[in-house]
Structures are given as structure tokens and as C-alpha cells.
């Protein structure tokens, strides 16, 4: 085998053989295939696609690049959730302890930001002392203590994906459906969870811009999961507008804690409860209703145990950016658009995301929203507050919002898009 023949095969729209897929994944994991060569192959896959056989084999090769975990020793049904990435998507933070409070164990393997979308690990690392990297034994200990764990995939779990995940972020190949599906499902299958709920985002702030593409991705992933014996379902959810009122790391942690305390934005609460109910049903757990666990404080108790078990100081103040800039409403009327992609790029440019896989992120950077589409605003009132440690970023970040905000005259009717658009599985 040689990597050039694999690249040119996909460049020329030919199917990759099982042997080619097995070899290139193994060779890339071992460093025989260079990053620039895998970048070329990833771009060819993005442009020319893969069929279901290729995707299945690619996923299996990614799984076989490492170990597989088993949570049978817990003696508790397990359920996990994965989001394909959005703006303001902090749902994992309240969701994991919420599901644990209702009777299922949640071994949640999460990732870092990809492009304009935020990463769960980046958010949680804004909590002083919190650790994303845990050994398998530490994962089990945290699960026993708190009922849930949120951490990075270990080096032994689908290591091929760990390398490719970071590479896609900086080579413009994040949106390839075969690579999204195989990346997500290789980790989730190797993780060993019994049930999996996929939150497939649809809209400007998602990697899937339209419902048809999102349905294709969801069907692909549900098929991969069920084929591997994992009870898998998918919800397709709207990402035309950011979730909640914050996009950024510490900002989103603060908002998640508000949800766990029984408050928080209505859309974040709605989606958290919907996904929790799906996870519990998929795991076969019939206990406390998630809405009740948010109200009675039990979800917050599990959150505090989870964060402390991973070294976090649950009572420490969260980081705050050194500089803020307020953007006022341009006119009086009804806010009819607050584009998720525009807000995501703005937050990314402020320092909440990374341009290269080696880049650090600013814990306090991001965007705070003071209104959502459908709200009445008055000219000059604060519409957005931008946060960063580096004020020279403001001008470039503001440019991202140029076409992202629309205010219509008072009396304009606005119909909110349903949060859950479809269910597959």
C-alpha cells in the first residue's frame, strides 16, 4: 500500500477497498502517513463522499486503532449523548448530571471546539482545577461517585480519530458527513455505552445547514450504532439561532449552572429535558422525570459531585474577560434574526475558539446576548456584549456580525422555529 494511491482513488471518485481503508487508518495512527497527506484524503472525501460500506469500514478501522471499554461492572444502565456541534450548545453540562440524577450512568466522552462551534471540554476547563484527561480507572471512580463523568477520550480509545479530529478542524474538512459520522461513532461505540442519543444540529450555526443533510447524517450514525449493538436514536434540532444567551466557555458554564439551579433560558431547559428523556428511554430506565430533578436540586447535587471528583473547585469564581464591548440594537422593532453562525464566528474571533489545533482558548471570551428572535428591542439598548482579554480583537469580531442581526418594524409577526425538528430511530 501507498498513501498516494489511496488519495488519488478517492480524488478520482473511486470506492476505497477495505484493505485501503484499514491500511491508511493504521498508517496514519502510527505516523507513516503525514498530516498533509491525510489532509488531502480528507478533502477528497469531503468533495466526493463515501458509500455506507466505506463509512462502516472506516469507522471500524478507527475503533480497531485502540481499545474498547466496558461499563458492565457498574451494574447500572449507561446512556450517552453526542451533539454534532452548535453555537451556545452547553447542553452536555446540565444534561449529564440530570440523567445521572434520574437513574442512568452517563459516561460522556466529549471534545474540544471545532471551527466556530464550542467544545464541551474547553468550557469545563474554565472551572479552576477541573481535569479533562482521566484514566479508565479514574473514569470508573468518577462514575461511581457522581453517576456521570465528562472527559476526553483517552489515548487508547480510537487514537486514529483523536489525530484526525484535530486535523479536520484546521483544514476545512469538518463538514464531511462520512468523517463526522465515523468520528462520532468510532468513539461512542468504543466507549462501550449501552444507549446513545444523538443531537444532530440543523441550520446556519451547524455543520449541517439543511434538514436533508442532517437527516442523512443522522440515519448514517443511527445505522452505525445499531449495527454495533448500541441502542441509538437521533433528534434533529434547530441551530439557526444560538442556544441560550451565551456563546463562550466560562459564560456557558455560568448559564448551565443557572439551569441546574432551576432557572436558565427556556430553550436550554427544553432541549436538556427532551434529550434526558430520550437517554433514559433508550437505556430502559423508568424513574424520576428530568423536569422534577431540575426542580428538586438532585441534578445540581450530581453536578457538584461530578466537578469535584474531576478536581474542579465548584465554589471558585469563574474567569471573567478583562475587556467588554457593548453592541446596541440598530433600531426599534422586533428582533427577527440573530444568526448562529455569525455569533459563533464572533465568539471564535474574540478568543473562545482556536484557529490551529495547538492554540489555547480564552476562558472568559465570548458573546452575551440580551435578546432572542421574537423579542421587542429599542434602538440603542444593549443587544450583545462581547468579552475578550485582547481588545484588539473587537473590530474583527464585530465584522462577523454584519449580516447576522435583523430588526423588523414593530408589529411584525415572528414565528419561532420548533427546537426539535425530527426524530430518527
Residue 146 appears among annotated catalytic residues: no
Q: Of residues 22, 60, 80, 161, which has the active-site annotation?
A: 161
Q: Of residues 82, 116, 188, 254, which has the active-site annotation?
A: 82
Pairing of strands 195-202, 231-238: parallel
- Please tell me the total number of residues recorded for the chain in this structure: 425
Residue 187 appears among annotated catalytic residues: yes
Q: Of residues 112, 168, 201, 305, which has the active-site annotation?
A: 168
CB atoms within 10 A of CB 30: 11
Burial of 212: CB neighbours in 10 Å, binned 0-12, 13-18, 19+: exposed
Nearest C-alpha neighbor of 89 from the set 283, 231, 275, 213: 275
Cβ pair 251, 212 in contact under 8 A: no
Residue 183 appears among annotated catalytic residues: yes
* Alpha helix (H) residue ranges in 203-350: 211-227, 249-260, 266-283, 290-295, 298-309, 340-347
Helix or strand or coil: residue 82?
Answer: strand
CB atoms within 10 A of CB 394: 18
Distance CA 10, CA 305 (A): 48
DSSP 300-325: HHHHHHHHHHTT--TTSPPP--SEEE
Distance CA 15, CA 146 (A): 46
Place of cell 462520532: 184
Cβ pair 158, 190 in contact under 8 A: yes
Residue 168 appears among annotated catalytic residues: yes
Q: Of residues 81, 163, 187, 393, which has the active-site annotation?
A: 187
Distance CA 307, CA 129 (A): 9
Q: Of residues 83, 110, 183, 186, which has the active-site annotation?
A: 183
Residue 161 appears among annotated catalytic residues: yes
> Catalytic residues, which ones?
82, 161, 168, 183, 187
Amino acid at each position: 500500500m501507498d498513501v498516494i494511491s489511496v488519495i488519488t482513488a478517492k480524488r478520482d471518485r473511486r470506492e476505497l477497498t477495505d484493505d485501503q481503508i484499514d491500511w491508511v487508518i493504521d498508517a496514519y495512527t502510527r505516523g507513516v502517513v503525514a498530516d498533509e497527506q491525510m489532509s488531502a484524503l480528507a478533502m477528497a472525501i469531503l468533495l466526493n463522499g463515501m458509500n455506507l460500506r466505506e463509512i462502516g469500514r472506516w469507522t471500524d478501522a478507527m475503533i480497531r486503532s485502540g481499545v474498547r471499554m466496558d461499563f458492565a461492572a457498574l451494574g447500572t444502565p449507561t446512556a450517552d449523548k453526542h451533539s454534532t456541534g452548535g453555537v451556545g450548545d452547553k447542553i452536555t453540562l446540565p444534561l449529564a448530571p440530570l440523567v445521572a440524577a434520574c437513574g442512568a450512568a452517563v459516561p460522556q466522552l466529549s471534545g474540544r471546539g471545532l471551527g466556530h462551534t464550542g467544545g464541551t471540554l474547553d468550557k469545563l476547563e474554565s472551572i479552576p482545577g477541573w481535569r479533562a484527561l482521566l484514566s479508565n480507572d479514574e473514569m470508573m471512580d468518577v462514575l461511581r461517585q457522581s453517576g456521570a463523568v465528562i472527559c476526553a477520550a483517552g489515548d487508547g480509545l480510537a487514537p486514529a480519530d483523536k489525530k484526525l479530529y484535530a486535523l479536520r478542524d484546521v483544514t476545512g474538512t469538518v463538514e464531511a458527513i462520512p468523517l463526522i459520522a465515523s468520528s462520532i461513532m468510532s468513539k461512542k461505540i468504543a466507549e462501550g455505552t449501552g444507549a446513545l442519543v444523538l443531537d444532530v444540529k440543523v441550520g446556519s450555526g451547524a455543520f449541517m445547514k439543511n434538514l436533508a443533510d442532517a437527516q442523512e447524517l443522522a440515519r448514517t450514525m443511527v445505522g452505525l450504532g445499531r449495527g454495533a449493538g448500541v441502542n441509538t436514536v437521533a433528534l434533529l434540532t434547530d441551530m439557526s439561532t444560538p442556544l441560550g444567551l451565551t456563546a463562550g466557555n466560562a459564560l456557558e458554564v455560568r448559564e448551565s449552572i443557572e439551569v441546574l439551579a432551576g432557572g436558565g433560558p427556556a430553550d436550554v431547559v427544553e432541549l436538556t429535558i427532551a434529550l434526558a428523556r430520550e437517554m433514559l428511554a433508550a437505556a430502559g430506565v423508568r424513574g424520576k422525570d428530568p423536569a422534577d430533578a431540575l426542580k428538586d436540586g438532585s441534578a445540581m447535587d450530581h453536578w457538584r459531585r461530578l466537578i469535584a471528583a474531576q478536581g474542579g473547585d465548584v465554589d471558585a469564581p469563574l474567569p471573567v474577560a478583562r475587556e467588554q464591548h457593548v453592541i446596541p440594537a440598530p433600531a426599534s422593532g422586533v428582533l427577527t434574526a440573530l444568526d448562529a453562525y455569525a455569533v459563533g464566528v464572533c465568539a471564535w474571533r474574540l478568543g473562545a475558539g482556536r484557529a490551529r489545533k495547538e492554540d489555547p482558548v480564552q476562558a472568559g471570551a465570548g458573546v452575551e446576548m440580551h435578546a432572542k428572535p421574537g423579542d421587542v428591542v429599542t434602538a440603542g439598548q444593549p443587544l450583545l456584549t462581547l468579552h475578550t482579554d485582547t481588545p484588539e480583537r473587537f473590530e474583527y469580531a464585530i465584522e462577523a456580525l454584519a449580516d447576522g442581526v435583523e430588526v423588523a418594524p414593530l408589529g411584525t409577526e415572528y414565528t419561532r422555529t420548533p427546537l426539535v425538528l425530527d426524530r430518527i430511530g
